[in-house]
Amino acid sequence: MIIIAAASLSVSSCSLDEHNYVEIQKDSYINDAKQAESVLLGVYRNLVTDGIYGYHLSLFFTLGTDEAKVEGNSLTNYRNVPNNAYTSTEDEVQATWQALYHAIYEANDFIERLSVKWQDFTTEDQRLAAVYMAEARTLRALFYFELVRWFGNVPLMTATAQSHQHPSTFVQAAPVDVYAFIEQDLLYAVETLPYASEDTYRASNSFRISKGGALGLLAKVYATWAGYPLCDESKWEQAAKTAQVLINSGKHGLLENFEQLWYNSGAGSWDPKESLIEVSFYSPTITGNGTNDSSGRIGKWNGVSAAAEAVNCGRIAANWKVLPTFALDWYESGYPNDRRWEISCADHKYTADAGRTSLWTYKEKVDGKEVVRNGYWALAADPNAKADYRKNYNNNMCPGKWDIPKYVTEENNIVDANVSNVNWYVLRYADVLLLYAEALNEWKKGPSNEAFAAVNAVRRRGYGLPVSTASSVADLDASLGYEQFRQAVRKERAHELAFEGHRRQDLIRWGVYYSTIRATFDALAEWHDQSQEYYKLAQYTVEGKNELLPIPQRDKDLCSQFKQNPGW
């Protein structure tokens, strides 16, 4: 893979100035489809960087919801960002802004150069080039989608020539204009790309974007556009119709077994049936040089806690902690029929002396003798549970979807305390089904048969049942009205997509982020009297502020026309 790397920026430049001072002879490159693909793979490589899905947009910024929190009860080290206790000078905020604009620059550069070069290609290479162009435009759309929904008011850089401007000339675009630009890129991709199962163009389309990914992303873009802060409700119809094209195509579907998703991500195995956009992390060894290593922190930051001596993958710090109130609500509403609970909420850990073991122990008397027993969730979830039992879950349970000792194959393993080769799902077919159900309900102001069918398919698979067979256990009550169905779909998104990085943005687009944080804080007091002290998020979350990240202060200072986001 050839990677076009950006040079270090001078202190007088801003993050939008991503032109490359070391791009030697690029004007004479991309002379055929093979060379074009090599450069395109370099654009893809941006996905694995820490600033994008290697860390920040998968694990770091997505924390701070009603589902999970960061480990601990202080603001030391890495804990201030997940608790919303940071400022516009935060290094990680700057790094993500810069990483996304660097990725956009590379996508723009590829698109521009291919547009000039492909007229000289052979007919066969031109067919490939059209697919590569659509891939690049989908990637650019994805990068801009992350920018606009996380930062809100962002500059729209549509050509590499803009990077030569003086920082004082840069202006922020209206978010609606950014969404319109994203829409055009994705509409082009939808018209041009083949479905993964019908791809006769690329020698390998593993982890590459196809028509299903572009359609699914466009549906998600429309659903986000319809919500807060733009609140353009006309986009619900477009979200529904776009998702419907994907669903009716029959080219994608749900895997039969929900848990297979996590075996696949742990093994680095590509299955395009359900995986629409997936980031592949793989590095045979760790050099410590991020330019060379293509591994991420999936399963290390958000996996199951493990001592280094207990597993052959290095210590797992497990800095994501499942909130007991979320686990309890889900448990009471679906367990044991909903099999996703046990897969998603890990009621175990790995220790040096016991290997896989329970999270806690308790003592009881048997025949007059005190015996130590392994604790388990049901004891704490009981309405009459002892306070000491519940206390164990205040800062202890981890997500289970990225249980490295369980799901990662020997061939895909890295013995390292910080990174792994576990993949990250950006978009799954199940997500699109739930967006379709939501969009239909919002558009029609009431659920249709198609809306019920979409959400019930997801629920049936989660309950271990055939997706096409009606179930009195799994299916939603068919009498639900508009508001009841809305809440049911929102809860279903929380369960199906738990800890996958969607929840915070869902709460924001629904306009309930702040109120949900406050309600969670109150609910934690009912769980255990010490649980609130571990939920620092409630103390630092401000309504009308924390729905967006701040414009990085360094760029705001250099780009004199920039305005800071509200509250920052």
The per-residue pLDDT for 367 is 86
The per-residue pLDDT for 335 is 87
The per-residue pLDDT for 2 is 27
The per-residue pLDDT for 6 is 31
The per-residue pLDDT for 11 is 29
Non-local (6+) Cβ contacts of 3 within 8 A are 41, 42, 45, 291
Say how far apart CA 435 and CA 219 lie, in whole Å: 7
| Domain 1-192+538-568: assigned CATH number | 1.25.40.890
The per-residue pLDDT for 3 is 30
The per-residue pLDDT for 289 is 66
Say how far apart CA 185 and CA 528 lie, in whole Å: 49
- Mind listing the pLDDT tens digit of every residue in the chain (568 residues)? 223 333 222 223 566 765 443 354 566 789 999 999 999 999 999 999 999 999 999 999 999 999 999 999 999 999 999 999 999 999 999 999 999 999 999 999 999 999 999 999 999 999 999 999 999 999 999 999 999 999 999 999 999 999 889 999 999 999 999 999 999 999 999 999 999 999 999 999 999 999 999 999 999 999 999 999 999 999 999 999 999 999 999 999 999 999 999 999 999 999 999 999 999 998 887 766 666 778 999 999 999 999 999 998 999 999 999 999 999 999 999 889 999 999 999 999 999 999 999 999 999 888 889 999 999 999 999 999 999 999 999 999 999 999 999 999 999 999 888 999 999 999 999 999 999 999 999 999 999 999 999 999 999 999 999 999 999 999 999 999 999 999 999 999 999 999 999 999 999 999 999 999 999 999 999 999 999 999 999 999 999 999 999 999 999 999 999 999 999 9
User: How many Cβ atoms are within 10 Å of 352's Cβ, its own excluded?
Assistant: 11
The per-residue pLDDT for 20 is 46
CA-based nearest residue to 386, from 523, 534, 527: 527
Say how far apart CA 201 and CA 196 lie, in whole Å: 10
Say how far apart CA 51 and CA 281 lie, in whole Å: 14
- The one-letter amino acid code at 485 reads F
Chain centre distance of CA 55: 10
DSSP H or E segment with residue 222 = helix 211-226
In the chain, where are the structural domains located?
Answer: 1-192+538-568, 308-422
